[in-house]
Amino acid sequence: MRSLLALLLVVSTLHAEISLPKVIGSGMVLQRESNAAIWGAADPREAVTITCSWLKKTINVKAGADGKWLAKLKTGQAGGPHSITLTASNTIELEDILFGEVWLDSGQSNMEMPIAPVSSAYTGINNWESELAAANHPQIRLFQVGNIASKEPQKDVQPGVLIYGVKIPPCKWQNCTPETVRHFSSTAYFFARKLHKELGVPVGIIDASWGGTAIEPWIGKKHLTQAG
């Protein structure tokens, strides 16, 4: 009986730690001069305190009955770096955050084609060696979504599987370097580079492309039925 009571006491005091999706992390870019959304999970009804280095006040939100929470952060002009501290039953610190332009790219093989050759399917771009050698842009941040199939909507992106020779991504924000952009979408990279040079602001680019996939698998069953 004592062992059972002790076990119940331990279980009752355990908390599900606050967690974030992979796309909300250190090194990310938040849309400048906007109310940028961040979200995550915690215990049901748990209070989450958010402290931002660029704001004078803290932001307090509460998780819903399902444990999900969302907050809007008012961002300023392009620049950084900034930091965010999230506190609940545990603490998460996000660093090296920039304000700038945030874009999502998606599509088939013409979008997924990486800069460097990786297979007979993806042979790279013209002059890929020189383009890759010059791809040092610390204010361009890359986030690559993995290729993974599922019959049900996923709660978060995953590294996925090796397809067409494209390296399995780490699913985290990375500075643009010759190494990190090597297997990244060349179209997305050139778009981000053009924005960065012309606007003079940091750019966050999210690559969610997969060669040969139709648009329908990217749309939820509910919305496909409605469009039916």
pLDDT tens sequence across 101-128:
999 999 999 999 999 999 999 999 999 9
Three-state SS annotation for 55-80: CCCCEEEECCCCCEEEEEEECCCCEE
> Which domains can be identified in the chain, with CATH numbers?
18-100 (2.60.40.10), 106-218 (no CATH)
Could you give the CA distance from residue 96 to residue 173 in angstroms, rounded to a whole number?
10
CB 95 within 8 A of CB 26: yes
pTM of the predicted model as reported, rounded to 2 decimal places: 0.89
Q: Which stretch of DSSP H or E encloses residue 94?
A: strand 91-105
Stretch among 39-43, 151-155, 223-227 having the lowest mean pLDDT: 223-227
**Structure confidence at residue 15 (pLDDT):** 57
- For residues 146-157, give the mean pLDDT: 88
Q: Which residues pair with 207 in a beta bridge?
A: 105, 144
Helix extents (H) in 57-177: 109-112, 128-133
Q: Say yes or no to pLDDT of 10 above 90.
A: no
Q: Say yes or no to pLDDT of 9 above 50.
A: no
Per residue in 174-209, is it b (16+ CB within 10 Å) or e — as a string?
bbbeeebbbbbbbbbbeebbebbeeeebbbbbbbbb
Q: Which two tokens stand for residue 156?
A: 């978060």
For residue 111, give the nearest of 4, 211, 2, 215 by alpha carbon.
211
Which of the four pLDDT bands, split at 50, 70 and 90, describes residue 224?
A: confident
